[in-house]
Structure 1
Amino acid sequence: MSDAGPLPEAVPAAGSAAGSGAGSAAGSAAGSGAAPGDALGTAPARAVRWRALAPLRNRDYRLLIGATGLSMFGNGMWAVVMVFQVMAIDDRPTALSAVAACLSGGLLAFVLVGGVVADRVPKRSVIITVQAVNLLAVAAVSALAFADAIRLWHMAVAAALLGAGSAFFFPAYSAYLPAILRPDELLAANGLEGALRPTLQQALGPALGGMVVGALVPAAGAAATAALHAGALALLLFLRPEPRAEHAGEAGGERPGALADMREGFVFTLRTPWLLWTLLFACLMLLVVMGPIEVLLPFIARERFADGERMFGLLLTAFGAGGAVGSLVVSSWRLPRRYLTVMVIGWGAGNLPLVVIGHVTSFWVMAAGMFLIGFSNGAGMVIWGTLLQRRVPPAMLGRVSSLDFFVSIALMPLSIAVAGPLSTVVPTPVIFTAAGVVPPVLAVAAVLAGRMAADEIAHPLDPPAA
């Protein structure tokens, strides 16, 4: 499942590509028995006192994670900049729906293609190209806004380019890690990236974006975002090309076509009930939840608070902080025996605070609600990533991860596009009530339809010692 945050850019990031896709990389490296880090002269991970910091001994990884951190920070700022730049052009929910739908649409249109490209094109080239496109898109928005020549279609094009870039970046990032790190360093690298994402992209980035936009103008926020992307691109240019990998045809067999690979992943998913019903649940849950948070929450913040821009950024900060805490708490415990039930029911019930957010006028109550939503999202993602790594065959993990990403966001553009027009005929508190109540119902239905209770007992993970 993608990392379903309150911003479409966070989703991919979030999410499945960074968690599930990274698991794919770890699985393939461990299965092959190769130690890519050895080829690059990486010191063994056991030589580092703090295991979680072992990947930072690698020069290329330091450059990559530094660039990724700057890009995450920029994406977090853009989530706020985009909202209020659109409002400055056309102050209607329908306009924001249209631009936000372009961002999610660009991601959705290329998410499966991105996985195929990452397997057939040098990963370093993909990562650098995506970062260059991100820089050009955001810099163009800033320049046009300062020149008072910005139009709504400019924002739509920039949003679509950023969404498509995410679809190409995260599969390439996940596949690049095994080429520069030892297999026993991959878990620590994925954990570091997972800790940075909610902190930078979902917390500090939106907070700073709200402050800059509130104190100055949206164009200034876009310029700051462009500077962060420029810094990321500068670091990526110093990455060394990854070692040349042997293609399937060179190993004595003909490489299957991209469509055949995709079809095999679809068949496996359809024949695996717990996987199928979790993805269906995620798809429907995001249809109900993403539109209200993405489109209507900025207007609620502006109507209820004098400095709505800053308060909206802080609400997203609360969500990111909740995600970071939820991830740390769950990863510190043993995997629940009823891991499927806990994961799905927790995801569904975690949206109940939306009912309160839709009705109250207290900022602190709204922030607490966003924190709880983020907590349940982060906690569920830890369990979900573990399941994909441990219950999906290593040879299938990459395709399943891409399909997970695709299915999870399939209805997000529709949710975002509908939220604005729906708010003109249905009161906003009613929409938020439905967004909070429907997901728990969907969660219970998925657990029952997928027979998850029986499945998790038949396939125990981390059983307690006798």
Structure 2
Amino acid sequence: MARPSWAGRNYLLLTGATVISNLGSSGSLIATAFAVLASGGSATDVGLVAAARTIPLVLFLLIGGAVADRFPRHRVMVAANALNCVSQGLFAALVLAGEPRLWQMALLAALGGTGQAFFAPASEGMVLASVSGEQAGQAFAVFRMGMNGANIGGAALGGALVAAVGPGWVLAIDSASFALAAALRAFLDVSGVPARAAGGNMLHDLRDGWREVVSRPWLCAVVAQFAIVNGLTSAAESVYGPLVAEQHLGGAGPWGLALAAFGAGTVGGALLMTRCKPRRLLLTGTLCIFPLALPSAALAVPLPAAGLTAIMFGSGITVEIFSVTWMMALHQEIPEEKFSRVSSYDWFGSLAMTPLATALAGPAQDLIGRTTALWGCAALITLLTAAVLCVPDIRHLTRRTPATSTPPLPHTTSPAPLTPPGDTSSPGETSSSHPHNN
């Protein structure tokens, strides 16, 4: 089958690298938890290692965005992939050697989070910049479909490999996937990207990025919305969901099926967006966030496993529609030379409240009860989304014609099909920070 005319060399390299590293890293999330447990760690220790990755990710995001706007973005991505390759390789070596210590695992997880903090802002918009404006929506949807499919397949394969050969080898595979992804990204052709004028110091760049954010009410509104929405959904799915499943749905099996249905829904949403080109990008995307309140409501009832699975599938579809329309709006409205630093504020806002929300989920349940807490999550998501619709730009921002879009990166359109091996989210190597379901 011949590839589409818009799928040029840069697009294929970026998509292939993303599929490869996401396959490896989705499995490594499972492997990391089981590596901690196999070393004698407790559930608290598993949480500490996870937090060790998240904290530097949040702390260094803004710096990562400024760096990505000062240096060639593909080089920042390659360097971040190289750091993740080394950190995961050392993690694998420790586990395979036996008896890794908790502080060693936490330190290596922190290095991985640091790499992701620099990778995420640099990677935002790269795929959309590799295709023409008219075809950007379809191209980005196909990219998201491959990325989400890799996340699902990587998690399933990673779980099976952890059971079959142990977590150390799965971590080693993740290290190799980062190395291959870095190699693919190193071959990106950026000869057509205009040179950036020398800027001021890092603090100047951060202030400049902040001015870009606050000058756009629609951007401030959505980032503020998702700072809370991501925290609420994380609390519902990470804390309350497993408890409801254990007591009412039959245990981990039905809950795992519901989470898998959400992932399958994101693939379906991406497939839908290969055909749809909504004119009002932000209005369409924001309306698609209302269904994100339904999983919390379903857990509050609680619905039977079949009903919960159906709701998770549907919310996965609508969340993916938002992800595509959001990135299209950012790519259309944000100047290319400031894209990464603006993206870093987007990521920072979207992640900042999640650790606090998950930490407060238990005390909230003790204070008001789990059912009330879940209904509160659903109500807040609904109210926040309705409030965002009150911002005029959310309702009125429209897709512009290709002639007014950012010029694409150069790409090759030779007739011979090129199918490289299959990469904000790796955990987080995704191309949109809304919402974070990682």
Shift of 1:125: 4.2
Contact 1:296–1:428 (CA<8 Å) still a contact in 2? yes
1:207 to 156, 181, 189: 156
Q: Which moved more, 1:359-368 or 1:404-413?
A: 359-368
Q: Does 1:117 align with 2:42?
A: no
Counterpart Cα distance in 2 of 1:123 and 1:452: 29
Change (3 A) 1:186 1:169: farther
Contact 1:97–1:420 (CA<8 Å) still a contact in 2? no
Corresponding residue for residue 54 of structure 1: 7
Q: Does 1:236 align with 2:182?
A: yes
Q: Which moved more, 1:236-245 or 1:97-106?
A: 236-245
Change (3 A) 1:86 1:410: same
Q: Does 1:268 align with 2:221?
A: no
- Identity among equivalent positions (%) equals 27
Shift of 1:53: 6.2
Tell me which amino acid in the other structure corresponds to 2:389.
V
Q: Does 1:324 align with 2:267?
A: yes
Gaps of 5+ in 2: 402-438
Tell me which amino acid in the other structure corresponds to 2:182.
L
Q: TM-score, normalised by structure 2?
A: 0.75
Corresponding residue for residue 102 of structure 1: 52
Q: TM-score, normalised by structure 1?
A: 0.71
Corresponding residue for residue 255 of structure 1: 199
Matches within 5 A, 1:387-406: 387-394=329-336, 396-406=338-348
Q: Does 1:149 align with 2:99?
A: yes
After superposition, the C-alpha distances for 1:189-228 in whole angstroms (9 at most, x for unaligned) are 5444322121112x22222333444x45xx8245224214
Q: Does 1:281 align with 2:199?
A: no
After superposition, the C-alpha distances for 1:229-263 in whole angstroms (9 at most, x for unaligned) are 304414633644755777555xxxx5333322322
Contact 1:97–1:419 (CA<8 Å) still a contact in 2? no
Counterpart Cα distance in 2 of 1:278 and 1:381: 12
Corresponding residue for residue 369 of structure 1: 311
Aligned residues: 397
Shift of 1:317: 2.3
- Superposition CA RMSD, Å: 3.7
Tell me which amino acid in the other structure corresponds to 1:171.
P
2:238 to 284, 294, 305: 294
Contact 2:244–2:302 (CA<8 Å) still a contact in 1? no
Question: Which structure would you say has the larger RCO, counting Cα contacts within 8 Å and 6 or more residues apart?
Answer: 2
2:172 to 210, 221, 226: 226
Counterpart Cα distance in 2 of 1:363 and 1:232: 36
Contact 1:52–1:189 (CA<8 Å) still a contact in 2? no
Corresponding residue for residue 323 of structure 2: 381
Shift of 1:423: 5.3
Counterpart Cα distance in 2 of 1:160 and 1:415: 21
Contact 1:96–1:295 (CA<8 Å) still a contact in 2? no
Counterpart Cα distance in 2 of 1:155 and 1:306: 33
Counterpart Cα distance in 1 of 2:94 and 2:370: 33
Counterpart Cα distance in 2 of 1:175 and 1:416: 30
Counterpart Cα distance in 1 of 2:194 and 2:392: 41
Shift of 1:301: 5.1
Shift of 1:62: 4.5
Contact 1:111–1:402 (CA<8 Å) still a contact in 2? yes
Counterpart Cα distance in 2 of 1:151 and 1:422: 33
Corresponding residue for residue 298 of structure 2: 356
Contact 2:239–2:361 (CA<8 Å) still a contact in 1? yes
Gaps of 5+ in 1: 1-47
Shift of 1:71: 0.7
Three-state SS of the structure 2 residue aligned to 1:288 is helix
Shift of 1:322: 1.0
After superposition, the C-alpha distances for 1:21-55 in whole angstroms (9 at most, x for unaligned) are xxxxxxxxxxxxxxxxxxxxxxxxxxx95426632
Corresponding residue for residue 423 of structure 2: none
Change (3 A) 1:190 1:226: farther
Counterpart Cα distance in 1 of 2:112 and 2:362: 22
Change (3 A) 1:102 1:316: farther
